Amino acid sequence: MAARAKTILFGSAIAGSLYLAYLYATDTRASVHRWLVPPLLRAIFPDAEDAHHAGTTALKTLYDLGLHPRERDPTLVSDPSLAVEVFGTTLSNPIGISAGLDKHAEIPDALFALGPAVVEVGGCTPFPQEGNPRPRVFRVVGLDGMVNRYGLNSEGADAMARRLRERLRIFARAVGLSESEVLDGQAGVNPGSLAPGKLLAVQIAKNKRTDERDVYAIAADYVYCVRALARYADVLVVNVSSPNTPGLRDLQAVEPLTTLLTAVVDEARKTDRNTKPRVMVKVSPDEDEDTQMEGIVQAVCASGVDGVIVGNTTRRRTGVIPDGVKLTSREQQALMEEGGYSGPAMFDRTLDLVGRYRKMLDAQTLHSAGEADETAATSGEERARDPEQKVIFATGGITNGEQALRILNAGASIAMVYTGLTYGGSGTITRMKGEMKKAQTDV
């Protein structure tokens, strides 16, 4: 009898220990996610792209097994003080994950579990393309930065659509509804994110081989992506700002951008579901002269696009190294590699651009509303309803809650992270939300 009691006690202790270990390892607040996992990945995988693939595979496998890291702090999962309204949806918080981390829409649910309200997958091109030759991703560890020239490697829009549709089917079966019923909102969740208080953004782009001088051929690339992917997205993001696709940033001139965005908006409005996906355009941080920004704003307002994602990687290297920071020769070489740089040094530029875009977008919206009033008064028609304020998402150098608050105060609705997540680990978003909540409480 005593031996049996000891066996039961020992078994219970082991089971309890395993359960506590499970709770710790799957909690985004666990210190291992910040101080052990990221440096371990860097040590095991000298090539940053290999580390990227390993991280994606690990998250996917862990999610399938129910062993993935997730936000367990109940004060942060649904804190009213962090809620924000975007596109008519009350989001649980103003933090998002930028495109590039989940290029092929393999792990959107695992990323949502980390705590963001917005996950952007992609970029996705119409047809499969391999991107640039490897190596094409380089760490600058002394700056917590990165240089990449992936070149929009993509499995193609049809492959991503199949993956997202299978995700939708699994969800529909779980809640006892049909696919169309879920898409039309009968499950009580957004049709892209499949979760309350969250949005799934799908970034689309042109194929490298498409003639960069033919804006109509380029528009056809984007329209192809919309037709394939719009049903499964809450937001479609038009990428015209990658520095690694020839001619792509040239599309930010007002005339080609207006043509392109109008084609995307018109196609998005044909999406076969009750609520249509919103459309945003992702712009380069290097197009920062007033005339360039005014042209982008003019195209946004003329085409009916719903908002702008301010920021992408930069070709520039000036001002990237803070005073007093010395890089190793290897880091210096990585920094000077061809491609787009991302990291904390981008924050000040992002903050400045958000404030400037906010003023320009609001001014253009008011101007357009005034012109509509004059037209209605002249024709005797009923006055059109006031246009919605254009939404801004911001990405570039945001690594903590204090920076996120500054970005939001400058006029953005969502602060997005990418490089900060790769260095800070899967607890980054939980940590940022905690810092934001504390800052609001202290005030």
Q: What positions carry a catalytic annotation?
A: 242
Is residue 260 a contact partner of residue 249, using CB atoms and an 8 Å limit? no
Cα separation, 266 vs 132, whole angstroms: 32
Beta bridge partners of 281: 238, 308
Nearest to 346 by CA among 410, 441, 417, 409: 417
Cα separation, 368 vs 366, whole angstroms: 5
Is residue 307 a contact partner of residue 278, using CB atoms and an 8 Å limit? yes
- Whether cis (ω within 30° of 0) applies to the bond prior to 135 is yes
- How buried is 29 (Cβ within 10 angstroms: 0-12 exposed, 13-18 middle, 19+ buried)? middle
Cα separation, 313 vs 342, whole angstroms: 5
Q: How many other C-beta atoms can be found within 10 angstroms of the C-beta atom of residue 384?
A: 12
Structure tokens at 98: 């930028």
Cα separation, 231 vs 346, whole angstroms: 34
Helices 401-409 & 347-379 angle (0-180, nearest 10) = 30
Cα separation, 150 vs 311, whole angstroms: 17
Beta bridge partners of 415: 95, 394
Region for 345 from its dihedrals, namely left if φ exceeds 0, alpha if ψ lies in -120 to 50, beta otherwise: alpha
Nearest to 339 by CA among 149, 91, 179, 131: 149
Beta bridge partners of 118: 96, 199
Helix, strand and coil in the chain, % to nearest 5: 50, 15, 35
Cα separation, 285 vs 299, whole angstroms: 17
Cα separation, 12 vs 210, whole angstroms: 63
- Whether cis (ω within 30° of 0) applies to the bond prior to 197 is no
Cα separation, 316 vs 339, whole angstroms: 9
Structure tokens at 385: 């309803």
